[in-house]
């Protein structure tokens, strides 16, 4: 038990979040003590985005606790969030990626150099002086990922980062995420893509109707889901 506690990096206890009188998240509790990618799955409206936003501190919870339990607490608060629709600025791609460093007070030259390296890391091969708004959907997601990675976050949240992307762009983003995971960054990510979840998941959090229905190690979840809801979801059934 004592050994387990040492490896826990995030713990939620009875987290409940209400909006307009409705419980969007109900009594969510789990401990994460795995270094693999954490995949948040579940049907539309299950609460995946809300859970990610709540853990990141963008949503106020009504009750319960969210506790980062790393020894170095400041380290676990070095976080970045890649939204489903990337936030775009009226800037060039390179300046957009460099923006978080500029906010940190890094001079323009070194920040742009770091941005070029981050673009390279995520496989963004476009002319980086282009305005960011002309990028394709896949390129925008890579730009958002490069911007999120530029400050070397300890925890990286991604909300459906590959929605609407083709196989090639998805593969490149997945490869980047695996490299980032291997450097020790914790990744919590939502996806509807069961194939992607299967490829990436170290741990699965399966939500339905704002409740955590199943929390399992990735392979176990896909080979032998324990709950009726997860079984239905994974076999393409409709969860009503």
Ligand X SMILES: Nc1ncnc2c1ncn2[C@@H]1O[C@H](COP(=O)(O)OP(=O)(O)OP(=O)(O)O)[C@@H](O)[C@H]1O
Q: Which is nearer to ligand X, 21 or 105 (CB)?
A: 21
Phi, psi dihedrals of residue 15, rounded to the nearest 5° = -80, 125
Select from 19-27, 90-98, 181-189, 218-226 the region that touches ligand X (CB under 6 A): 19-27
Structure tokens at 205: 């959090």
Q: Smaller CB distance to ligand X: residue 171 or 211?
A: 211
Cβ proximity of 94 and 110 under 8 Å: no
- Distance in Å, CB of 66 to ligand X, minimum: 16
By beta-carbon proximity to ligand X, the closer residue of 4 and 44 is 44
Q: Hunting for tokens 């990096």 — which residue is that? A: 9
Q: Is residue 195 classed as helix, strand or coil in its secondary structure?
A: helix
Say whether residue 45 binds ligand X (CB under 6 A): yes
- Specify whether the backbone of 14 is left (phi greater than 0), alpha (psi in -120 to 50) or beta: left
Question: Applying CB under 6 A, which of residues 28, 42, 68, 98 lies at the interface with ligand X?
Answer: 42
| Residue 20 contacts ligand X per CB under 6 A | yes
Strands (E), 69-122: 79-82
Pick from 5, 19, 67, 130: which binds ligand X (CB under 6 A)?
A: 19
Q: Which residue has 């299967």 as its token pair? A: 198
Q: Does 215 bind ligand X (CB under 6 A)?
A: no
Strand 22-32 to 10-19 pairing? antiparallel
179 lines the binding site for ligand X (CB under 6 A): no
Q: Which residues bind ligand X (CB under 6 A)?
A: 19-20, 24, 42, 44-50
């Amino acid at each position: 038990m004592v050994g387990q506690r040492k490896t826990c990096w995030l713990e939620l206890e009875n987290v409940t979040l209400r909006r307009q009188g409705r419980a969007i998240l109900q009594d969510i509790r789990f401990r994460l003590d795995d270094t693999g990618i954490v995949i948040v799955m579940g049907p539309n409206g299950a609460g995946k985005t809300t859970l990610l936003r709540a853990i990141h501190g963008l949503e106020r919870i009504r009750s319960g606790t969210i506790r980062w339990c790393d020894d170095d607490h400041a380290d676990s608060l070095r976080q970045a969030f890649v939204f489903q629709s990337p936030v775009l600025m009226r800037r060039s791609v390179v300046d957009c990626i460099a923006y978080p460093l500029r906010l940190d007070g890094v001079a323009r030259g070194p920040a742009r150099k770091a941005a070029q390296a981050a673009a390279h890391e995520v496989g963004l091969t476009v002319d980086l002086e282009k305005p960011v708004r002309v990028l394709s959907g896949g390129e925008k997601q890579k730009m958002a990922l490069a911007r999120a990675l530029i400050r070397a976050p300890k925890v990286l949240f991604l909300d459906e980062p590959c929605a609407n992307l083709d196989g090639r762009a998805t593969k490149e983003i997945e490869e980047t995420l695996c490299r980032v995971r291997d450097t020790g960054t914790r990744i919590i990510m939502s996806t509807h893509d069961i194939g992607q979840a299967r490829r990436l998941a170290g741990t699965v959090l399966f939500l339905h109707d704002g409740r955590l229905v199943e929390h399992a190690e990735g392979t176990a979840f896909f080979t032998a889901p324990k709950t009726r809801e997860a079984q239905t979801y994974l076999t393409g059934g409709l969860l009503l």
